[in-house]
Amino acid sequence: QYGLYGSFLGCFLYIVLGSCKDVPMGPTAIISMLTYQTTKGLDPAFAVLLCFLMGCVEVLMGLLGLGFVIDFISGPVSSGFTSAAALIIVTSQVKDVLGITSSGNTFIEMWGSLFQQVGDTRLGDTIMGSVCIIVLLLMRYMTMLKVGPKEPEQQTMMQRVINKSLWLIGTSRNAVLVIICGLVGYQLSQQGEAPFKLIGTP
Protein backbone atom coordinates (compact mmCIF):
# COMPACT_ATOMS: atom_id res chain seq x y z
CA GLN A 1 0.00 0.00 0.00
CA TYR A 2 2.93 2.36 0.58
CA GLY A 3 3.93 1.94 -3.05
CA LEU A 4 0.41 2.70 -4.25
CA TYR A 5 0.24 5.87 -2.17
CA GLY A 6 3.67 6.96 -3.33
CA SER A 7 2.84 6.38 -6.99
CA PHE A 8 0.18 9.08 -7.21
CA LEU A 9 0.98 11.48 -4.37
CA GLY A 10 3.93 12.95 -6.26
CA CYS A 11 1.75 13.46 -9.33
CA PHE A 12 -0.82 15.41 -7.31
CA LEU A 13 1.88 17.65 -5.86
CA TYR A 14 3.40 18.21 -9.29
CA ILE A 15 0.07 19.50 -10.60
CA VAL A 16 0.55 22.50 -8.30
CA LEU A 17 4.33 22.79 -8.15
CA GLY A 18 5.46 21.39 -11.50
CA SER A 19 6.59 23.36 -14.51
CA CYS A 20 7.46 20.68 -17.09
CA LYS A 21 5.01 18.11 -18.45
CA ASP A 22 7.78 15.73 -19.57
CA VAL A 23 9.28 15.07 -16.12
CA PRO A 24 8.32 11.61 -14.78
CA MET A 25 6.83 11.85 -11.31
CA GLY A 26 6.43 9.23 -8.62
CA PRO A 27 8.57 6.19 -7.80
CA THR A 28 10.24 5.19 -11.06
CA ALA A 29 11.63 1.69 -11.43
CA ILE A 30 15.26 2.65 -10.81
CA ILE A 31 14.46 4.82 -7.78
CA SER A 32 12.28 2.05 -6.35
CA MET A 33 15.08 -0.47 -6.79
CA LEU A 34 17.66 1.77 -5.12
CA THR A 35 15.26 2.56 -2.27
CA TYR A 36 14.66 -1.14 -1.72
CA GLN A 37 18.37 -1.89 -1.61
CA THR A 38 18.91 0.88 0.95
CA THR A 39 15.95 0.22 3.25
CA LYS A 40 15.65 -3.56 2.87
CA GLY A 41 14.60 -5.15 6.16
CA LEU A 42 13.84 -1.81 7.79
CA ASP A 43 10.57 -0.17 8.76
CA PRO A 44 8.73 1.64 5.92
CA ALA A 45 9.31 4.87 7.83
CA PHE A 46 12.96 4.70 6.78
CA ALA A 47 11.90 4.78 3.12
CA VAL A 48 9.83 7.89 3.85
CA LEU A 49 12.82 9.46 5.60
CA LEU A 50 15.05 8.60 2.66
CA CYS A 51 12.64 10.26 0.23
CA PHE A 52 12.49 13.35 2.42
CA LEU A 53 16.28 13.60 2.57
CA MET A 54 16.50 13.12 -1.19
CA GLY A 55 14.07 15.99 -1.65
CA CYS A 56 16.13 18.20 0.65
CA VAL A 57 19.29 17.43 -1.32
CA GLU A 58 17.56 18.18 -4.62
CA VAL A 59 16.20 21.49 -3.33
CA LEU A 60 19.64 22.43 -2.02
CA MET A 61 21.29 21.54 -5.32
CA GLY A 62 18.70 23.60 -7.16
CA LEU A 63 19.26 26.63 -4.95
CA LEU A 64 23.03 26.36 -5.38
CA GLY A 65 22.78 25.83 -9.14
CA LEU A 66 24.61 22.51 -9.10
CA GLY A 67 22.90 21.11 -12.18
CA PHE A 68 26.20 21.27 -14.07
CA VAL A 69 27.49 18.34 -11.97
CA ILE A 70 25.60 15.96 -14.28
CA ASP A 71 27.95 17.00 -17.09
CA PHE A 72 30.77 15.13 -15.34
CA ILE A 73 28.90 11.82 -15.70
CA SER A 74 29.79 10.37 -19.09
CA GLY A 75 27.23 8.89 -21.46
CA PRO A 76 28.59 5.32 -21.30
CA VAL A 77 28.44 5.35 -17.49
CA SER A 78 24.84 6.54 -17.48
CA SER A 79 23.87 4.08 -20.22
CA GLY A 80 25.57 1.19 -18.45
CA PHE A 81 23.86 1.98 -15.17
CA THR A 82 20.45 2.22 -16.83
CA SER A 83 20.96 -1.03 -18.76
CA ALA A 84 22.11 -2.90 -15.65
CA ALA A 85 19.15 -1.59 -13.68
CA ALA A 86 16.81 -2.67 -16.48
CA LEU A 87 18.21 -6.21 -16.41
CA ILE A 88 17.76 -6.45 -12.65
CA ILE A 89 14.22 -5.09 -12.84
CA VAL A 90 13.25 -7.50 -15.62
CA THR A 91 14.79 -10.38 -13.69
CA SER A 92 12.82 -9.46 -10.57
CA GLN A 93 9.57 -9.61 -12.56
CA VAL A 94 10.14 -13.00 -14.21
CA LYS A 95 9.01 -14.85 -11.08
CA ASP A 96 5.70 -12.99 -11.11
CA VAL A 97 5.10 -13.78 -14.77
CA LEU A 98 5.74 -17.47 -14.09
CA GLY A 99 3.78 -17.44 -10.84
CA ILE A 100 6.61 -18.85 -8.76
CA THR A 101 8.37 -17.76 -5.58
CA SER A 102 12.06 -17.02 -5.75
CA SER A 103 14.60 -15.16 -3.67
CA GLY A 104 17.97 -13.52 -4.04
CA ASN A 105 19.51 -10.08 -3.73
CA THR A 106 21.84 -10.14 -6.73
CA PHE A 107 21.34 -10.83 -10.42
CA ILE A 108 23.03 -14.25 -10.21
CA GLU A 109 21.18 -15.26 -7.05
CA MET A 110 17.80 -14.34 -8.53
CA TRP A 111 18.37 -16.36 -11.70
CA GLY A 112 19.70 -19.29 -9.70
CA SER A 113 16.56 -19.28 -7.58
CA LEU A 114 14.38 -18.99 -10.69
CA PHE A 115 15.94 -22.07 -12.26
CA GLN A 116 15.43 -24.01 -9.04
CA GLN A 117 11.74 -23.09 -8.86
CA VAL A 118 10.92 -23.22 -12.58
CA GLY A 119 9.23 -26.58 -12.11
CA ASP A 120 6.53 -24.85 -10.03
CA THR A 121 5.50 -22.57 -12.89
CA ARG A 122 1.77 -21.80 -12.87
CA LEU A 123 0.12 -21.94 -16.29
CA GLY A 124 -2.51 -19.32 -15.47
CA ASP A 125 0.05 -16.75 -14.35
CA THR A 126 2.24 -17.39 -17.38
CA ILE A 127 -0.65 -16.97 -19.80
CA MET A 128 -1.87 -13.83 -18.05
CA GLY A 129 1.61 -12.30 -17.93
CA SER A 130 2.39 -13.12 -21.56
CA VAL A 131 -0.93 -11.77 -22.80
CA CYS A 132 -0.44 -8.55 -20.82
CA ILE A 133 3.03 -8.03 -22.28
CA ILE A 134 1.74 -8.54 -25.83
CA VAL A 135 -1.24 -6.24 -25.27
CA LEU A 136 1.00 -3.52 -23.82
CA LEU A 137 3.28 -3.69 -26.84
CA LEU A 138 0.33 -3.49 -29.22
CA MET A 139 -1.31 -0.63 -27.33
CA ARG A 140 1.96 1.26 -27.49
CA TYR A 141 1.44 1.70 -31.23
CA MET A 142 -2.07 3.06 -30.77
CA THR A 143 -0.58 6.49 -30.06
CA MET A 144 0.87 6.52 -33.58
CA LEU A 145 -2.33 5.51 -35.37
CA LYS A 146 -3.99 8.29 -37.33
CA VAL A 147 -7.41 8.29 -38.97
CA GLY A 148 -7.82 10.59 -41.95
CA PRO A 149 -5.34 13.23 -43.15
CA LYS A 150 -2.13 13.76 -41.22
CA GLU A 151 -2.75 17.48 -40.76
CA PRO A 152 -5.20 18.13 -37.89
CA GLU A 153 -6.69 21.09 -39.76
CA GLN A 154 -7.83 18.78 -42.56
CA GLN A 155 -9.48 16.24 -40.27
CA THR A 156 -13.17 16.14 -39.50
CA MET A 157 -14.45 16.43 -35.96
CA MET A 158 -15.10 12.68 -35.78
CA GLN A 159 -11.58 11.90 -37.00
CA ARG A 160 -10.05 14.20 -34.39
CA VAL A 161 -12.11 12.56 -31.65
CA ILE A 162 -11.05 9.08 -32.79
CA ASN A 163 -7.39 10.06 -33.02
CA LYS A 164 -7.47 11.69 -29.60
CA SER A 165 -9.19 8.63 -28.12
CA LEU A 166 -6.59 6.29 -29.63
CA TRP A 167 -3.80 8.47 -28.28
CA LEU A 168 -5.37 8.62 -24.82
CA ILE A 169 -5.92 4.86 -24.62
CA GLY A 170 -2.42 4.14 -25.88
CA THR A 171 -0.85 6.59 -23.45
CA SER A 172 -2.77 5.23 -20.46
CA ARG A 173 -2.24 1.59 -21.49
CA ASN A 174 -0.71 0.62 -18.15
CA ALA A 175 -3.66 1.90 -16.15
CA VAL A 176 -6.17 0.43 -18.59
CA LEU A 177 -4.58 -3.00 -18.40
CA VAL A 178 -4.31 -2.91 -14.60
CA ILE A 179 -8.00 -2.03 -14.31
CA ILE A 180 -9.08 -4.75 -16.74
CA CYS A 181 -6.93 -7.43 -15.09
CA GLY A 182 -8.10 -6.27 -11.67
CA LEU A 183 -11.73 -6.67 -12.71
CA VAL A 184 -11.01 -10.10 -14.17
CA GLY A 185 -9.24 -11.18 -10.99
CA TYR A 186 -12.04 -9.84 -8.81
CA GLN A 187 -14.71 -11.60 -10.86
CA LEU A 188 -12.85 -14.90 -10.74
CA SER A 189 -12.25 -14.58 -7.00
CA GLN A 190 -15.97 -14.02 -6.46
CA GLN A 191 -16.63 -17.27 -8.28
CA GLY A 192 -14.12 -19.11 -6.11
CA GLU A 193 -11.65 -19.61 -8.94
CA ALA A 194 -7.97 -18.68 -8.80
CA PRO A 195 -6.21 -19.48 -12.10
CA PHE A 196 -3.51 -16.95 -11.25
CA LYS A 197 -2.09 -15.38 -8.11
CA LEU A 198 -3.66 -12.23 -6.74
CA ILE A 199 -1.83 -9.56 -4.75
CA GLY A 200 -1.92 -10.40 -1.08
CA THR A 201 -2.38 -14.14 -1.59
CA PRO A 202 0.36 -16.68 -0.85
Binned at pLDDT 50, 70 and 90, residue 168 comes out as confident
Count CB atoms within 10 A of the CB of residue 37.
10
Is the distance from CB of 143 to CB of 170 less than 8 angstroms? yes
Is the distance from CB of 2 to CB of 44 less than 8 angstroms? yes
What pLDDT shows up at residue 60? 93
Is the distance from CB of 26 to CB of 10 less than 8 angstroms? yes
Q: Which long-range contacts (CB under 8 A, 24 or more apart) does 47-54 make?
A: 47/2, 51/6
Going from N- to C-terminal start, the domains of the chain cover 122-202
* d(C-alpha 149, C-alpha 152), whole Å: 7
- Say what the pTM is: 0.64
- pLDDT tens digits for 65-124? 888 888 888 888 888 888 888 888 888 888 888 888 877 777 888 888 888 888 888 888
Least-confidence region, from 40-44, 51-55, 152-156, 191-195: 191-195
* d(C-alpha 18, C-alpha 12), whole Å: 10
Alpha-carbon distance values, 166 to 134, 144, 163, 177 (Å):
17, 8, 5, 15
- pLDDT tens digits for 55-76? 899 889 989 988 888 888 888 8
What is the phi/psi pair of residue 172, to 5°?
-95, 30
